[in-house]
């Protein structure tokens, strides 16, 4: 425990001084009455109230005084409190295949609406980030509670070329809290997303000391909501990326936005067939013990939103105790006054 104004603790001796003064006053009152009053009149001079009826109100008042003096120093404790540690990266497929209109109005627009609904329903304390991916992944908004910025960036998303699901996963994992310096398997080192992000540091620039390897057992749970049509046509095997995510306590919640059978997409006057491969997304989710949704129906999505929104962990949190102790002191003072008024018809 620490104190903002520790010098005010010097006032604490006032408590034993107040106890001494009260006891001495009571003793003087009894001695004075005994010395000057007729023995037959003593019951009228001295109160015959039960000792407990006078002691309890007084003790409560003295405890309240001690609490007020202690709280004046503004003590700060670190009690374990429930904290929402939910951190979610939304990985949004922005490849050209997402322009397909097999779902209305297009795969990309449906995906954006899914993101907006999740942002709307998630608790305000949930950290949400946004990554877009095509040939590589780009972290548009790191995990944050700033919903306004996230939605602004979402509305400005543009389509690009191919699709790399592995890039989306690796880039998103490294953007989650505590995972910036994770060890990346050799099979995934060549991903473009690694080039787009700061390289894992081996030396702490502030201390000059070596940075310890990330211990996955100490990491808070993380999640990635991967929204795509499931077709990965460049870079590494998505399953390797899913295993990488699982290694660092990240679950994949994959949502397939397309219709089975695929669609025909016209680009620059040419027609292209764009497949729909939800099986890839399903296997990635299963690998990390996450969830897979296809088709993206409202009821199924809401279950995911609820699961992702809150991850409660008891964590030592700095808390100023002055207000709590002052409030308790007021309660004790009022209780003491009430008991005194009830038993003795007076307030001490």
- Alpha-carbon distance of 97 to 276, in angstroms, equals 9
Comparing CA positions, the residue from 228, 244, 231, 243 lying closest to residue 91 is 228
Report pLDDT digits (tens) over 189-248: 766 555 555 555 555 555 555 566 778 888 888 999 999 999 888 777 899 999 999 999
Tokens, residue 42: 């003593």
Comparing CA positions, the residue from 288, 280, 281, 297 lying closest to residue 252 is 288
Does residue 115 have a pLDDT over 90? yes
Does residue 110 have a pLDDT over 70? yes
CB 191 within 8 A of CB 168: no
The model carries a pTM of 0.70
pLDDT band at 153 (very low <50, low <70, confident <90, very high): very high
Report pLDDT digits (tens) over 171-204: 999 999 888 888 888 788 766 555 555 555 555 5
DSSP result, 120-177: HHS-TTSEEEEEEESSSEEEEEEEES-HHHHHHHHHT----S---HHHHHHHHHHHST
Alpha helices per DSSP H over 185-237 = 192-196
Q: What is the CA radius of gyration of the chain?
A: 33
CB 224 within 8 A of CB 169: yes
- Alpha-carbon distance of 73 to 245, in angstroms, equals 47
SS3 at position 160:
coil
Output the CA torsion 230→236→238→244 (10° steps): -150
Please tell me the predicted confidence (pLDDT) of residue 32.
67
Please tell me the predicted confidence (pLDDT) of residue 223.
95
Tokens, residue 9: 């603790």
Pick left, alpha or beta for residue 163 (phi over 0 → left; psi -120 to 50 → alpha; otherwise beta).
beta
Please tell me the predicted confidence (pLDDT) of residue 199.
53
Q: Which carries the bigger pLDDT value, residue 332 or residue 41?
A: 332
Does residue 111 have a pLDDT over 80? yes
Share of the chain above pLDDT 90, in %: 44
- Alpha-carbon distance of 133 to 224, in angstroms, equals 13
**Consecutive H or E run containing 128:** strand 127-133
Q: Which carries the bigger pLDDT value, residue 54 or residue 256?
A: 256
Does residue 320 have a pLDDT over 80? yes
Comparing CA positions, the residue from 77, 72, 78, 64 lying closest to residue 5 is 72
Report pLDDT digits (tens) over 80-99: 877 778 899 999 999 999 99
Alpha helices per DSSP H over 176-321 = 192-196, 238-247, 278-287, 298-309
Helix pair angle (238-247, 278-287), 10° resolution:
20
Report pLDDT digits (tens) over 249-260: 999 999 999 999
Tokens, residue 318: 């700095």
Domains and CATH numbers, the chain: 2-78+318-344 (no CATH), 82-199+211-314 (3.40.50.410)
Mean pLDDT of the chain: 84
SS3 at position 153:
helix
């Amino acid at each position: 425990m620490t104190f903002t104004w520790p010098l005010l603790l010097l006032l604490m001796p006032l408590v034993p001084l107040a106890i001494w003064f009260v006891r001495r006053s009571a003793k003087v009152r009894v001695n004075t009455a005994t010395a000057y009053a007729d023995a037959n009149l003593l019951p009228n001079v001295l109160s015959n109230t039960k000792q407990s009826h006078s002691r309890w109100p007084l003790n409560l008042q003295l405890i309240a005084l001690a609490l007020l003096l202690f709280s004046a120093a503004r003590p700060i404790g670190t009690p374990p409190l429930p904290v929402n540690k939910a951190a979610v990266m939304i990985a949004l497929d922005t490849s050209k295949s997402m322009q397909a209109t097999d779902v209305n109005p297009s795969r990309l627009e449906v995906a954006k609406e899914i993101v907006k609904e999740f942002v709307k329903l998630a608790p305000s304390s949930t950290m949400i980030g946004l990554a877009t991916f095509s040939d590589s992944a780009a972290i548009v908004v790191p995990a944050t509670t700033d919903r306004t910025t996230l939605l602004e960036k979402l509305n400005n998303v543009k389509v690009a070329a191919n699709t790399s699901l592995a890039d989306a996963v690796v880039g998103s994992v490294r953007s989650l809290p505590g995972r910036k310096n994770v060890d990346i398997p050799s099979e995934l080192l060549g991903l473009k997303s690694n080039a787009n992000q700061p390289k894992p540091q081996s030396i702490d620039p502030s201390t000059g000391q070596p940075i310890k390897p990330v211990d996955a057992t100490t990491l808070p749970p993380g999640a990635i909501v991967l929204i795509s049509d499931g077709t990965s046509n460049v870079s590494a095997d998505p399953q390797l990326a899913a295993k990488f995510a699982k290694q660092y306590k990240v679950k994949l919640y994959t949502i397939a936005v397309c219709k089975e059978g695929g669609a025909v997409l016209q680009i620059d006057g040419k027609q292209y067939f764009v497949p729909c491969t939800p099986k890839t997304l399903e296997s990635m989710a299963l690998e990390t013990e996450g969830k897979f949704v296809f088709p993206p129906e409202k009821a199924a999505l809401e279950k995911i939103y609820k699961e992702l929104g809150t991850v409660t962990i008891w964590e030592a949190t700095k808390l100023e105790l002055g207000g709590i102790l002052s409030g308790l002191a007021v309660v004790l003072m009022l209780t003491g006054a009430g008991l005194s008024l009830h038993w003795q018809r007076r307030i001490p």
